[in-house]
Amino acid sequence: MKIKPVVLDRIQTRHTSFEVDFILENNITFIVGDSGTGKSAVFSFLQEMAAEDKRIRCLNYLDQKRNYRNTIRQSRGKLIIIDNADILLDDAMRWYIATDGQNQYIIIGRNPTGLMLKQNEIMELSSQTYDGKTRFELMHSF
Amino acid sequence: MITVYKKKPSPNDLELVTLNDIFFNKSTATRMDDRAKEIIAKIDQSEMLSPYAIASRFDGMKLNIDKLSTGCKTALNILYNPDKVFDIRECGDNALDVIYALPSGNVYCDYPLISFDMDKVMVRDDRSVREVESYEALKEWWAQ
């Protein structure tokens, strides 16, 4: 289900020598890719950003026992960033997210089943290291 | 060769580990030896500097081993803990290639998650344990 982002169409942050610059084309951005490409590192940088930006909420495996489903259901006008989605999101939550027009999502995982995404909504991380600095961007996976 | 489960093992069988990061950080990380070096290099393209340190693939900085990817931690969990079953749902294709080539270990996923480079695996379900020798046959078993 392809709709425009309802919270942010770009997210930029810096963590020491790491820079994140994501252009968000759709309301759900699903990020896939090989292990070790920096997905969880980027999540930790965005977690840091969330401490200063109340529009952003971050959830990962550490929230598994913390009623994260209610956190998502009670959110309005948030960019919800979910790492470890293959563990956290069951079929019901995937359906909720797919039909939620009030929040925006960045989801890091492997299996986008149930989110009703088109191929061009599935992204991969692209990283470039130059002069000791690493920059992360998104590119289409297909 | 590894053994593949498509249903969660019963409580009387082997323990299932779903949160691979936590299990690695609390248990496997304390038992790393030279066998881990090759796996870390293959999956995360990082050098293992000491039992608790790696060099970042991005800038070469020395990092604690807890910064390994979940896929890499899962492969190491499987290698070092043949008495447990590990959920592989978070593994990227590069981690799956390594996991399917391990000499032993147990993995679980309730949908097909297969390395294109797989050779032979054991599959285990309610009815039997048997050997499967091809990608297509393994995919078919998962679909049954």
Q: Which contacts of B118-123 are long-range, i.e. CB under 8 A and separated by 24 or more positions? A: B119/B1, B120/B1, B121/B1, B121/B2, B121/B3, B121/B4, B122/B1, B122/B2, B122/B3, B122/B4, B123/B3, B123/B4, B123/B6
- Would you call A87 and B90 a contact, using CB atoms and an 8 Å cutoff? yes
The structural domains of chain A, ordered by start, are: 18-140 (3.40.50)
Q: How far is B16 from chain A (nearest CA, A)?
A: 13
Asked if A48 reaches chain B (Cβ–Cβ under 8 Å), the answer is no
ipTM of the complex model: 0.87
**Quick one: which H or E segment has residue B87?**
strand B84-87
Please report which confidence band the pLDDT of residue A1 belongs to, taking 50, 70 and 90 as the band edges.
low
Interface touch B89/A86, C-beta < 8 Å: yes
Mark out the alpha helices in chain B (DSSP H runs): 20-26, 35-44, 70-80, 93-100, 135-143
pLDDT tens per residue across span B27-67: 999 999 999 999 999 999 999 999 999 999 998 999 999 99
Position of tokens 């500097």? B49
Task: Evaluate whether A92 touches A70 at the Cβ level (below 8 Å).
Answer: no
Nearest to B89 among A110, A127, A129 (CB): A110
Residue of B nearest to A32 (CA): B92
Amino acid B101: pLDDT: 97
Instruction: Quote the percentage of chain B above a pLDDT of 90.
Output: 91
CA B36 to chain centre: 12
Block residue for tokens 């990092």: B63
Is A35–B111 a contact, with Cβ atoms under 8 angstroms apart? Answer: no
Owner of token pair 């038992």 = B31
- B111: nearest CA in chain A? A111
Answer whether B57 sits within 8 Å of A18, measured CB to CB.
no
- Which secondary-structure segment (H or E) carries A56? strand A56-59
Distances (CA, A) of A111 to A43, B45, B89, B112: 18, 23, 8, 11
Q: What is the pLDDT of residues A28-84, one digit of tens each?
A: 999 999 999 999 999 999 999 999 999 999 999 999 888 899 999 999 999 999 999
Shortest distance between the Cα of B95 and any Cα of chain A, in A, equals 6
Tell me if chain A has a CB within 8 Å of the CB of B69.
Answer: yes
Q: What are phi and psi of B123, to 5 degrees?
A: -115, 145
Token pair 């425009």 is found at A4
What average pLDDT does the structure give for chain B? 95
* A75 contacts chain B (CB < 8 A): no
Domain span at B54: 3-143
As a whole number of angstroms, the distance between CA A7 and CA A78 comes to 7
Q: How many structural domains comprise chain B?
A: 1
